[in-house]
Structure 1
Amino acid sequence: MTKPEVFGHRGASGYRPENTLEAFKLAFDQGAVAVECDLVPTKDHRLIIRHENELSHSTNVTEHAEFADRFKEIKMYGHWPVAGWFSEDFTLEEIKTLKAIERIPDERPGSAKFDGQFEIPTIEELLAADFVTNRKLIIEVKHGAHFAALGFDMVGALKTAIDESNWRERDIEFVFESFNLDITIELKNRIAGPHKYVFLVDTWGMPIEITMDEFLDDVASKVDGISFNFELLTPEIVAAARKRRLLIYTWTAQVEKAERSVEEYLMQFVNLSVDGIFADQPDLLHELLSGLA
């Protein structure tokens, strides 16, 4: 059995509001090998760390009367209606007046206790943080194709942030991700280096008109790894990915979903023998793995 690495899913998001510097630091303190973060753009083309560009679920924007007129409905990718407040309508200075809140408080009540306490960080602030020295960062570009169509060069902005950081001297390791294979390839082409590039797959990304073998052949010819929603992953897919020398990750271990014991729940992830598991409570997964032979 492959013993997987522990990844803090947007930090230690079971304990602190996700995608905050405080959540990232705690994840490393709890034994995570890496932390994952999500990037979306601001109006002035800065990259902030949020799960989505719609801000009302992960910030206290609804409490700011001065931004009430920013509420609107848009169509993501031209067809998916979403209503709320959107990062691309705010400058970074305006974003910095907001505070992070727990996105799914019913599922992560421990994290929700810290609502309103932490800032919305930029990618530059994460790269500059002392606690990422000698660590691994897994960076996801959210909705890259959607924002490219709106004139936002997220990959270029990320490249600039990486290039202007001192990541080599501090031995920071990078994995770049996207749910869009073309964006993942663009990340590989434009942010070249000793990095890894991983394609994210959820239900909508599963192969329909081709076989899983053909799908994995295509991915393996273009990027370094593939990361599946746990509900989609099978031992057969893991074996097929390994045959093609793909890194294989899965997500998300969230112990609130355990129907019996936490150990039994987490072992479902461990038994798949993947290379890395994204966890909301990285300490519990780290503790479990430390006790295995």
Structure 2
Amino acid sequence: MRLLLALAALVMTAPLDAKPIIIAHRGASGERPEHTLAAYKRAIEQGADYIEPDLVMTKDNVLVIRHENEISGTTDVANHPEFADRRTAKTIDGKPVVGWFTEDFTLAELKTLHARERLPQIRPANMGWLEERIATLDEALALLRGTKRRVGIYPETKHPSYFASIGKPMEKALVEALARAGFTGRDDPVFLQSFEVTNLKALRAMTSLRLVQLIGDEPPWDQTEAGSGMTVADMVSPDGLKAIAGYADAIGPYKLLIEPRDAAGQALPPTTLVADAHAAGLQVHAWTFRRENIFLAAGDRIGEDQAARGDAAAEYRRFLGYGVDGLFSDFPAEAVAARDMAER
């Protein structure tokens, strides 16, 4: 009996993800146009543990999947004369942006557009995928229901304070969509991520699903707008990480916050961020891992062609050695292979 109780306690205290998770960054976006059902299907085939949809809102308040609410770079909207008058200028997170915006289109209108590769110079093969449409969060969740193995979802709310400012708050719609799919608790294969703090704190009050504070090279926009004075250095300090642990379960740091680079692009020794986050009780899911030379540290590049394939496996090995709990990758098959090799 004592042995059974000890085993039960071990199971209860074991981490939900016993090995580093592989998050398909915008799907298998190195091989298919990002944030399309084709990219998500490919990622699932390649063994990704989670697919990652970035979420924005439509005019009729539907959560759709695009990296940005401005869609001229990821769809053929510019080729639709019926939408020419929708092109406009807006200020998004303090920056001027000109183009076409999802919040000015109904879902039915967006469904007439075709998705396009965002990085054609780097990934010309993806230009051949011409029939993919903008997908909704509900469609991504339906895709997961049809998988033969457990695959999770890792949604990001994009520009949540901006959408709230135009009367389109995202939090309730997101939580309700996930609940309809049966995702409501910490044991479910879901992480909700945001660069903003207020958004995550609002979600914390609404759901038990796991939350991730993204950290980039700029402070969270909602904090800048509020004049809080928060900096990236504040966020990654031990005290800052303890504060994040008060409302989130993990951080999603830009990988250079873990492994900096010098002026020549050479990788430098790692910072203490992973250890500090773990000490605060936070998981660490680093982004973004890609195989093309242009995205790699100088020592991992092969040849001079920036679009050519470099030694991404070496980068995966280093970061897994640093103890990260997850990796965002455009090439999930390669990340899965590196993770599995490291466990042998």
**Fold-level match, TM-score > 0.5?**
yes
Contact 1:3 1:273 in 2 (8 A): no
Task: Provide the residue aligned with 1:88 in structure 2.
Answer: 103
Task: Provide the residue aligned with 2:195 in structure 1.
Answer: 179
Quick one: which amino acid aligns to residue 94 of structure 1? E
Q: What is the TM-score of this pair, normalised by structure 2?
A: 0.78
Q: Extract unaligned runs of 5+ from structure 1.
A: none
Task: Provide the residue aligned with 2:340 in structure 1.
Answer: 290
Q: 1:243-266: CA deviations, max 9, x gaps?
A: 111011100101013413232233
Whichever structure has more strand as a proportion of its residues is: 1
Task: Provide the residue aligned with 2:117 in structure 1.
Answer: 102
Task: Report the Cα distance in structure 1 between the residues aligned to 2:236 and 2:73, rounded to whole angstroms.
Answer: 37
Q: 2:318 aligns with which of 263, 268, 271?
A: 268
Counterpart of 1:291 in 2: which secondary structure? helix
Counterpart of 1:285 in 2: which secondary structure? helix
Quick one: which amino acid aligns to residue 91 of structure 2? K
Q: Do structure 1's residue 37 and structure 2's residue 87 form an aligned pair?
A: no
Task: Report the Cα distance in structure 1 between the residues aligned to 2:114 and 2:235, rounded to whole angstroms.
Answer: 45
Q: Do structure 1's residue 252 and structure 2's residue 288 form an aligned pair?
A: yes
Contact 1:176 1:196 in 2 (8 A): yes
| Structure 1 runs of 4+ with >3 Å offset | 206-211
Cα distance change on mapping 1:73 and 1:291 into 2, 3 Å:
same
Q: Do structure 1's residue 54 and structure 2's residue 70 form an aligned pair?
A: yes
Q: 1:99-129: CA deviations, max 9, x gaps?
A: 1111122222332331x22111101111112
Task: Provide the residue aligned with 2:255 in structure 1.
Answer: 230
* Superposed displacement of residue 85, structure 1: 0.3
Task: Report the Cα distance in structure 2 between the residues aligned to 1:110 and 1:118, rounded to whole angstroms.
Answer: 15
* Superposed displacement of residue 157, structure 1: 1.3
Contact 2:235 2:241 in 1 (8 A): no
Task: Report the Cα distance in structure 1 between the residues aligned to 2:108 and 2:323, rounded to whole angstroms.
Answer: 44
Task: Provide the residue aligned with 2:170 in structure 1.
Answer: 154
* Superposed displacement of residue 25, structure 1: 1.4
Counterpart of 2:96 in 1: which secondary structure? strand
* Superposed displacement of residue 211, structure 1: 7.2
Q: Extract unaligned runs of 5+ from structure 2.
A: 1-17, 220-230, 259-269, 303-310
The percent of aligned pairs where both chains have the same amino acid is 36
* Superposed displacement of residue 287, structure 1: 1.5
Quick one: which amino acid aligns to residue 334 of structure 2? L
Contact 2:48 2:151 in 1 (8 A): no
Task: Report the Cα distance in structure 2 between the residues aligned to 1:132 and 1:157, rounded to whole angstroms.
Answer: 27
Task: Report the Cα distance in structure 1 between the residues aligned to 2:195 and 2:234, rounded to whole angstroms.
Answer: 18
Task: Report the Cα distance in structure 2 between the residues aligned to 1:48 and 1:279, rounded to whole angstroms.
Answer: 21
Task: Provide the residue aligned with 2:40 in structure 1.
Answer: 24
Counterpart of 2:284 in 1: which secondary structure? strand
Contact 2:47 2:333 in 1 (8 A): yes
Task: Provide the residue aligned with 1:213 in structure 2.
Answer: 238
Task: Report the Cα distance in structure 1 between the residues aligned to 2:49 and 2:326, rounded to whole angstroms.
Answer: 9
Aligned residues: 286
Contact 1:133 1:172 in 2 (8 A): no
* Superposed displacement of residue 290, structure 1: 2.0
Contact 1:5 1:276 in 2 (8 A): yes
Task: Report the Cα distance in structure 2 between the residues aligned to 1:14 and 1:176, rounded to whole angstroms.
Answer: 23
Q: Which protein, 1 or 2, shows the higher relative CO under an 8 Å CA cutoff with sep ≥ 6?
A: 1
Q: What is the TM-score of this pair, normalised by structure 1?
A: 0.91
Task: Provide the residue aligned with 1:281 in structure 2.
Answer: 331
Q: 2:218 aligns with which of 204, 210, 213?
A: 204
Counterparts of 1:58-73 in structure 2, within 5 Å, are: 58-73=74-89
